[in-house]
């Protein structure tokens, strides 16, 4: 049976929801904009890695290696960077605060 691996996004969202702490309080305590947290929770955007690190530390989470994980097979398809392709399709990136 195939076991679904939760992504870091899944883990962060679940930890936020289960924490019982309001997004307002998390934003105040971590310095992450409340709008960024709300958009992240709604699946409208992802968090920058530095913000995800701050959030994980705040929630008492840490990244650990999976002893059963195998390195992915490297192919041209899985080496592509879809996020860059999406950005190019949308036009030039806008700078945002926070």
Is residue 70 a part of any domain in this protein? no
Structural domain of 47: 1-64
**The pLDDT value given to residue 68:** 87
Residue 95, CB half-sphere, CA atoms under 13 Å: how many?
Answer: 1
Using alpha carbons, list the distances in angstroms from residue 22 to 11, 40, 73: 17, 14, 41
Closest among 42, 49, 77 to 63, alpha carbons compared: 49
Is residue 35 a part of any domain in this protein? yes
Taking all residues of the chain, what is their mean pLDDT, rounded to a whole number? 84
DSSP-derived 3-state class of residue 32: coil
How many domains are contained in the chain? 1
- State pLDDT tens for residues 1-54: 445 678 999 999 999 999 999 999 999 999 999 999 999 999 999 999 999 999
Q: Please calculate the CA angle 46-94-7 and round it to the nearest 5 degrees.
A: 10
More confident residue, 79 or 29: 29
Lowest mean pLDDT among 49-53, 82-86, 91-95: 82-86
Is residue 33 a part of any domain in this protein? yes
| DSSP state letter for 92 | S
pTM of the model: 0.66
């Amino acid at each position: 049976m195939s076991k679904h691996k939760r992504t870091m996004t899944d883990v962060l969202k679940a930890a936020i929801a289960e924490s019982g702490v309001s997004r307002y309080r998390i934003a105040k305590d971590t310095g992450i904009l409340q709008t960024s947290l709300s958009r992240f929770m709604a699946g409208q955007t992802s968090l920058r890695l530095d913000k995800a690190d701050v959030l994980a530390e705040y929630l008492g989470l840490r990244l650990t290696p999976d002893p059963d994980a195998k390195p992915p097979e490297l192919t041209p398809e899985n080496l592509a960077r879809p996020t860059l392709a999406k950005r190019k399709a949308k036009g030039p990136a806008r700078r945002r605060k926070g």
